[in-house]
Structure 1
Amino acid sequence: MTEHLTAQQLARRTSAAVDAAVGAGRDLGLTVTDAAVLHDLFSVVVHLAPAPVVVRVPTVLPRATDLDVLARRQRSELDVTRWLADRGTPVIPPSPLVPREPVQRDGFSMTFWQFVEEDKTRQPDYAVNSESAADLHAALRDYPGPLSFLSAAEPAFVEEGLDLLGKSPDLLAAADLDRARREWQVLEPLVRSRTAFEEAFPGVDLQPVHGDCPPANVFSGVDGDLYSDFELVTLGPVEWDLAALGPDLEAAYDRGAARNGLRSLDGGVLRFVNAVGMLRVIACLTLVPRLPALEEYLKPGVEQWRTMPFAGGLTG
């Protein structure tokens, strides 16, 4: 039986992340007297009050993501959000009070963001957010910086996850693991190779995309909605940002795309990204021992995956 971290161990991890964020902030000249944890799941998000600065400290990462890999990803996120903010796109921008660079301390790599007060009275409207995702895609099309093809799919994490699940039968049944491995054999070439993707889906353009479901990452600020959490920003098809959201939200996106003069979503690419997204859900089961609360979020996804066509209907 795979051992899970205890509540005490989880609390120590959170405390260590907060201490690292406070120490790094003070080293950068910020006054911090009332640090407060705003969020704690894959990352610990800390408001360095009274400074108007929020620090995001990733704490639950794939084993293949070392600090150097994480820092490269964080630099892309900081660059993209600064570029968008400079052009008036509503995003949570990097903090202007510190250098726009990841900071490494005590085994963590963290980023610093402008504090925005949240409107906690509002509930997310995912249809509105999905339509708005097309606005974000329109803004991102001209981003000039380098981005890797479909890095948000994290193929090394999927492979690592499938390997680890073979050693942890209590996390996933053997028959499910066999299916996942066979699906990955079909999908992996299109994830790792832009050329292979373009041959499979001719005429589907690629562009910078958010990488991590922007309809679920719209922050309700007191002065309006802001796009947030570009940690997985990548080059890919726009369908990647709508993976697993279903027909109603896909239709909402298409309304936004038409308004922005963008193409509508491609059904074949949607089936592909949905299938890849589900294998990422399967791989995330390996994170449950380090983040037990994650299990309740993953179970419905695994059940849904069992009902879906093999590898999104693609054949090897």
Structure 2
Amino acid sequence: MSTFLTPQQLASRTSAAVDAAVAAGRVLGLTVTDPTVLHDVFSVVVHLAPSPVVARIPTVLPHPDDLATLARRQQDELDVTRWLAAQGVPVIAPSPLVPREPVQRDGFSMTFWSFVPEDRDKEPDYVANAESVADLHAAMRTYPGQLEFLGAADPRFIAESLARLDHYPTLIGAAELDRARREWQILEPLVRSRTAFEARFPGIDLQPIHGDSPPANIFSGVDGDLYADFELVTLGPVEWDLAALGPEHESAYNRGARRNGTRPLNEEVLGFVNALGMLRVVATLTLVPQLPELMEYLKPAVDHWQTMPFAGGMNS
């Protein structure tokens, strides 16, 4: 059983991430006198005030020591968001004040973004956001760079986590773990192989997608909404970006797709991505020792997963 980090250890990790970002920012020529933490869950997000730059430092990771793989994903995010911004798409863009590449310091790998003041009085409208994701997908279709197929699902993380969860009996029961492993046997080949996916879902086009529930990652700036947090940007079916959000959000997306002339969501692919997304939730239980507060969010999702069709109906 892994030891859960204490509040003091969590605070120390945050402090170390902030110190690393401040030091890296100063080396890059930024004036930093009043660093302010804006967000601290999976990543520490710190405004390097008074510079108009925000550093994002991932701290809760499946493989904390594998900074090279993390940096490759971060470079994808920087490249995609810079390209989208150049096309006039409303995104939080990489900071133009520093090189647009990940920076590694003191055991962290971080990226730097333009500071955007937040409209804290605006309540998010996730249904409207889901409709607007169809516009984001339309814009991303012509991105010229190379992206990994369904890298956002992180099959390595799922496989390793399902193999290790025997050691976490307080987080998941034996019957639930058995179900997850049996579902993974069915779903894994379709995640690992683009060829297998395309054979199973003929006619379903693949394209660059956000990768991490974009309806929940639209930032309310004082001058308007901005797409944000492309950390899991990937190549995949558009359905992945609507996984586990439910019929109301799916219908909203389809309205947006009809409006901009792109395809609606496919029910069979939705079953696949919903099941796959839930296995990723189960896998995330292995991160609870790094962030104990995660459990209060994951437990309801795991309970809901047990009411869903086995493997999204893919077992036939």
- TM-score, normalised relative to structure 1: 0.99
Deviation at 1:64, TM superposition (A): 7.4
| Aligned residue in 1 for 2:8 | 8
Alignment check: 8 A CA contact 1:35 1:46 kept: yes
| Aligned residue in 2 for 1:154 | 154
Q: Does 1:176 align with 2:176?
A: yes
Which whole-Å deviations, capped at 9, do the CAs of 1:17-41 have from their partners, x for residues lacking one?
0000000000000000000000000
Deviation at 1:162, TM superposition (A): 0.7
Partner amino acid for 1:79?
A: D
Partner amino acid for 1:154?
A: D
Partner amino acid for 2:19?
A: D
Gaps of at least 5 residues in structure 2 are none
Separation of aligned partners in 2, 1:226 and 1:156 = 31
- What secondary structure does 2:88 align onto? coil
Matches within 5 A, 1:40-189: 40-63=40-63, 66-189=66-189
Which whole-Å deviations, capped at 9, do the CAs of 1:54-98 have from their partners, x for residues lacking one?
000000000277100000000000000000000100000000000
Which whole-Å deviations, capped at 9, do the CAs of 1:266-292 have from their partners, x for residues lacking one?
000000000000000000011111101
Which whole-Å deviations, capped at 9, do the CAs of 1:145-196 have from their partners, x for residues lacking one?
0001000000001011112211221111011101100000000000010111
Separation of aligned partners in 2, 1:92 and 1:2 = 36
Which whole-Å deviations, capped at 9, do the CAs of 1:227-259 have from their partners, x for residues lacking one?
000000000000000000000000000000011
- What secondary structure does 1:112 align onto? strand
Partner amino acid for 1:56?
A: R
Separation of aligned partners in 1, 2:261 and 2:64 = 39
Partner amino acid for 1:185?
A: Q
Separation of aligned partners in 2, 1:286 and 1:272 = 23
- What secondary structure does 2:4 align onto? coil
Q: Does 1:272 align with 2:277?
A: no
Matches within 5 A, 1:277-296: 277-296=277-296
Matches within 5 A, 1:202-241: 202-241=202-241
Q: Which region of structure 1 is more displaced relative to structure 2, 61-70 or 266-275?
A: 61-70
- What secondary structure does 1:5 align onto? coil
Separation of aligned partners in 1, 2:202 and 2:211 = 21
Q: Which region of structure 1 is more displaced relative to structure 2, 57-66 or 294-303?
A: 57-66
- TM-score, normalised relative to structure 2: 0.99
| Aligned residue in 2 for 1:17 | 17
Percentage of identical aligned residues? 73
User: Number of matched residues?
Assistant: 316
Q: Judging changes above 3 Å, is the alpha-carbon distance between structure 1 residues 188 and 126 closer, same or farther for their aligned structure 2 residues?
A: same
Gaps of at least 5 residues in structure 1 are none
Separation of aligned partners in 2, 1:159 and 1:189 = 12
Partner amino acid for 1:124?
A: P
- What secondary structure does 1:35 align onto? strand
Alignment check: 8 A CA contact 1:64 1:157 kept: no
